[in-house]
Amino acid sequence: MSLTTIASPHHGSAFADYVFERIGPTSLPRIFRALRALRIKTGAFTQLTRRFMEEDFNPRTPNREGVRYLSYGASVDPPIWSAFKRSHRIVEREEGANDGLVSVESSRWGEYKGTLVNVSHLDLINWTNRLRWLVWEMTGNKRNFNAIAFYLDIGDMLAKEGL
């Protein structure tokens, strides 16, 4: 049995800390109500802070005997027009290399399988701007990451290892 995580904030995210420090506890309920009205679920937001993960979640959720834990991280240097430019800078200042939201260090859990380079958090969930890739490929460039192939490779590796 195994659990493989990819760019999961096992130790929280400096960007979540930053957002909650700027918003403040008195404004959070109003913001959460507005997000829920837009049908955006908010339950996990407060659980992404470094404090919550280190002091609450991780101590209450120990590794289970007999489970092999594998993890991957990702890092990117987002272009100036990227939606992740600011969040990347905040996480990089506090935690180092990151995918725009989660640092490589925070993603480490169990056996660390490696860092995906030039891959953003959105690339990992295959939510890449198709128009951007079309223009990119028309100018002779190639995609540097294929999320579907990556996940299939993980499944293949786990199968070969009997996990």
Instruction: Break the chain into its structural domains and give their ranges.
Output: 2-160
pLDDT tier at 141, thresholds 50, 70, 90: low
Q: For the sheet containing 68-75, what is the strand order?
A: 2-6, 68-75, 111-117
Q: What is the CATH number assigned to the segment(s) 2-160?
A: 3.40.50.1820
Q: Is the pLDDT of residue 142 over 90?
A: no
* Stated pTM of the model: 0.82
pLDDT at 60: 96
pLDDT tens readout for residues 9-24: 999 999 989 988 887 7
pLDDT at 134: 67
Residues 41, 35: Cα–Cα separation, whole Å: 7
pLDDT tens readout for residues 74-123: 999 988 888 889 999 999 999 999 999 999 999 999 999 999 999 999 88
Nearest to 2 by CA among 130, 145, 157, 107: 157
